[in-house]
Amino acid sequence: MRVMTMFWLLVVLAVSSAYAANLQTYTFDDPSKEALFRELINEIRCPKCQNQTIADSDAPLAKDLRDRTYLMVQEGATKQEVIDYMVARYGDFAYYRPPVQMSTLVLWLGPLVVILGGAGVILWRVRSRSNTDVGLSAEEQAQLAKLSAANAVESTDAANQQAGRNKGNQS
Amino acid sequence: MAQPSKLKWVILAFPLLLFIWLTIFLLRGLFSDPTELSSALVGKPVPAFELPDVYNPEQMHTEAVLKGRPMLLNVWATWCPTCQAEHAYLNKLADEGVYIVGLNYKDDSRAKAVNWLNTLGDPYQVNLFDERGMVAIDFGVYGAPETFLINMNGEVVYRHVGDVNDRVWQQVLGPKYEAEMATYLKQPMETEPASAGGQS
């Protein structure tokens, strides 16, 4: 148990120190620029190691892109300008927030369609169930009355018998 | 149950259709390579740049060397094993008259690059040396090798990620290159073809 804890501690330490090493070399005079830089490198995807941001990735390309982001931010570029720069070169893929357009519509509307579809199915099932719950025909009514009358007689007979037996047991 | 049977069939068929669509969708995903990104530059002119020659640091080339005729722009480096694998094929293509420009991408040293070209052969008409990979970023390069097909107007037509081999050339790059060559050769020959040198 202790070994495992140590192991995970080491893993966390290694990962976080690598992350810190990725950022160490960038110094800013303006804290707002630093904040923008950090925000950007955590939202721009590394094209080389595709499921990491350029902040996470150790790939040389990620470093180049961090350098470029740093330069642009230092020169006073806005967030959108840096994102446009990356998207112009690496495609929409480079930004972790896909834009709303024809090819990405399914991403944005898919969940809504599924929820609406599910709600529709539930509604439809509930409705169709209450629709089938129609009254009995006259013939069926008569049959029901006959059956329940017979049942009543039977059950009183049975109750009487039961009562009689109970009495007998008690005495 | 007063439901019309047609509606019932539609409702019953819906999950089946959904399943078939999902199967096709996932099956396609199985055979596609997510690391092959289509270039954001397709249909756009090549970015402006100024880079030194691999052999001669004094000689500078601009984006003008990528205009004037259809050509391939091959991104390579000596640290890239796949580049070595494709190099023989590039030599073969060059022998067949395919116009290829080389972009050396963040190589360890200029000497290594020159040595590579001297020992393995030089299939490139122009050799660009991008020491810090900054021009490669403008091209959207994210690895090596990558090969861009550029038309006579200096616009990117297609980008291939990975090595150029016989299969890739026969099925993808070759036909596209031939098509660009056909348009190029059809036009009246008043525009001057790109010179191999470029300006200094």
Which CATH number fits the domain that encloses residue A24?
1.10.8.640
**pLDDT tens, position by position, B128-185:** 999 988 899 999 998 889 999 999 999 999 999 889 999 999 999 999 999 999 999 9
Q: Are residues A120 and A63 in the same domain?
A: no
pLDDT score at B196: 46
**pLDDT tens, position by position, B83-134:** 999 999 999 999 999 999 999 999 999 999 999 999 999 999 999 999 988 8
pLDDT score at A163: 63
Q: Are residues A67 and A151 in the same domain?
A: no
Segment 86-145 of chain B within 8 Å of chain A by CB: 106, 132-134, 137-140, 142-143
Q: Please give the CATH architecture assigned to the domain spanning B50-186.
A: 3-Layer(aba) Sandwich (3.40)
Interatomic CA distance for residues A86 and A54, integer angstroms: 11
Q: pLDDT class for A167, splitting at 50, 70, 90? A: low
Average pLDDT, chain A: 80
Across the interface, whether the CB atoms of A64 and B139 are under 8 A apart is answered no
Q: Nearest 5°: CA angle at B83, between B78 and B89?
A: 130
Nearest CB to B38 within list A91, A128, A132? A91
**pLDDT tens, position by position, B51-87:** 999 999 999 999 999 999 999 999 999 999 999 999 9
Strands (E) in chain B, as ranges, are 50-52, 60-62, 71-76, 100-105, 126-130, 146-150, 156-161
Q: Are residues A79 and A142 in the same domain?
A: no
Instruction: For residue B145, say if its preceding peptide bond is cis, omega within 30 degrees of 0.
Output: yes
Q: How far is CA B27 from the centre of its chain?
A: 26
Q: So what's the ipTM on this one?
A: 0.71
CB distance B136 to B80 below 8 Å: no
**pLDDT tens, position by position, B20-54:** 999 998 998 888 777 677 778 888 999 999 999 99
Across the interface, whether the CB atoms of A87 and B134 are under 8 A apart is answered no
Q: Are residues A85 and A112 in the same domain?
A: no
Domain count along chain A: 2
User: A98 Cβ partners below 8 Å, 6+ apart?
Assistant: A92, A104, A107, A108
* B132–chain A nearest CA distance, Å: 8
Structural element, H or E, at residue A105: helix A105-132
Nearest CB to B142 within list A61, A68, A132? A61
Sort out which chain B residues have CB atoms less than 8 A from A90's CB and list them. Answer: 37, 40, 140, 142
Across the interface, whether the CB atoms of A89 and B133 are under 8 A apart is answered no
User: Considering the entire predicted model, what is its pTM?
Assistant: 0.69
CB distance A47 to A59 below 8 Å: no
Interatomic CA distance for residues A148 and A159, integer angstroms: 16
User: How many beta carbons lie within 10 A of that of residue A77, not counting itself?
Assistant: 18
Of B88, B89, B78, B86, the residue nearest B161 (C-alpha): B86
Q: Are residues A76 and A26 in the same domain?
A: yes
Interatomic CA distance for residues B83 and B80, integer angstroms: 5
Nearest CB to A68 within list B34, B137, B143? B137
Domain that includes residue A34, residue range: 2-97
Give the strand order in the sheet containing B71-76: B126-130, B100-105, B71-76, B146-150, B156-161
Confidence check: pLDDT of B190 > 80: no
Q: Are residues A66 and A118 in the same domain?
A: no
Q: Are residues A112 and A77 in the same domain?
A: no
Judge whether A133 lies within some domain: no
CB distance B128 to B103 below 8 Å: yes
Cα separation values, A108 from A102, B37, B155, Å = 10, 21, 33
